[in-house]
Structure 1
Amino acid sequence: MIRTSLASAPLRVLAADATPVFREGLRAVIDRTVGLEWAGGTDHADAIRRGVRTIGPRVVVLDSAVDPTCTLIRDLVEINPELMVAVLFRDHDRSPASVRVAQSSGARCLLSRDTEASVMVRALLQAHQTGRYVDPRLTMVLSRPWQSASACDAGVLLTARQRQILALVAQGMSEPDIARHLDLGAATVSSHMKETRRRLGARDRAHAVALAYHVGVLPLRPALVAQRGISPVRPAHTD
């Protein structure tokens, strides 16, 4: 049994993970930890939203694969501003953009998904008690030059053509439509989008658009800000 220094009522933990075996393992860790109480697990974002409203957990643990655009994080924090959301990042999600967007969306505990059970438990409790915990490996990711460069100048991250194509993707256009609109070859547009996803650390088109809005590569539309309550990343001042 893992013992903690928590003297008050146990923290109810709700989890969303795309892998059933991992959910069962997480449940076993929570069940044997004094100070934590398992409230349920799922792989569906809507089930987590309902659970936060009806079960009232104090901690939610999210697999980064369940919430690749961090929309769920923002929704959960809106439902309960005091909720402590922890994100477990898979290897391919540990880009500066992905980690930074999760943090700015309201996640207070940022962990690598392969974190040892005892470390995860201490991290969850520390984040709940102090308001924040960042895995040292993710701290290193956030410290990479990519972050400051993209925040200061979108042109450092994407070329003008890449931003143009991504803006059209954000408007709902398909790659063939974009190719016709810009009088480019379909393969050229596809190549630009592949490179754009690589630079942003995005898995697909939707993820790329969400990350681009958050890091300031694409300007936020007023309607989007009002709908999602997104706060744009403000460029850092340099002398």
Structure 2
Amino acid sequence: MQPSQVNGRVVLSSQLAKENLGQTQTDIYTQTARPLDVIQQEIQNFISTLGFTSFRYSSVPTSLADTKTSSFELDHRADGREGFGSLPDKLYNIYYKNIARHDNLLQSVIASNGPVFHEPASDIARTFYRDNNINSHLCLPMRWQTGHDWFCLFTFQSPLSTEELRSHYQTIQDSLNSRALGWHLELMAFRQHKFNPYIVRKILTPRTRHILKLAADGFSSRHIADMTGISDNGVNYHYREAKRILGARNRAHLVALAKDQKLI
């Protein structure tokens, strides 16, 4: 069962909630569109009552599991454009510029569908966390209403040790999971374009996405060239670039991938 739209609000079915998050309420609704700073303050206020010091919400391309072949650059995440949160921007910047390549945080969450209690993978990562009074992380992947090749991630920073956090999570998971899911669905319903990493990083240009949309609507290359005012060769160039970036085998596969990743 999938989330659905009702009167402009996103509804998560109680069955899906129960299966994935242990919820018992009838439905979970998002609010109408709200400013990000309002949502950020609401999240911070709530997680503070659970003992967390800060949080970060961001999108993660699954291709970053292998940074050598990914179309995305790990250190580009240092600018924070894929997300927001109360974790200081300076720490986020330093982490992705200097630490991320020596840590396994993204690889761990990409491989998991459930909560991840992050254990630093190197001395440099452990030192970075210790120097900034971050003793442990709880990571909650959010895969509803995202693309096939990307998802969103909540990370919550805690002063507890990892083992203490594991134990603490058992007592707070129902309330934290349901609230996190509600915030995620709200953000995806009204601001998905702000988090979709393909759009944020302009992996496909707006012109390329427009051409793919026309192709998905059934127009031929000749018609697309006439409609966009570029040559046949220009249309084919956009196809080639998009196929290279998305790893498509042919034009039909390209359109299917673009739809699946919610690029068109």
Identify whether the pair has TM-score above 0.5, normalized to the shorter chain. Answer: no
| Greater radius of gyration (CA) | 2
Higher relative contact order (CA 8 A, sep 6+): 2
TM-score (norm 1): 0.31
TM-score (norm 2): 0.29
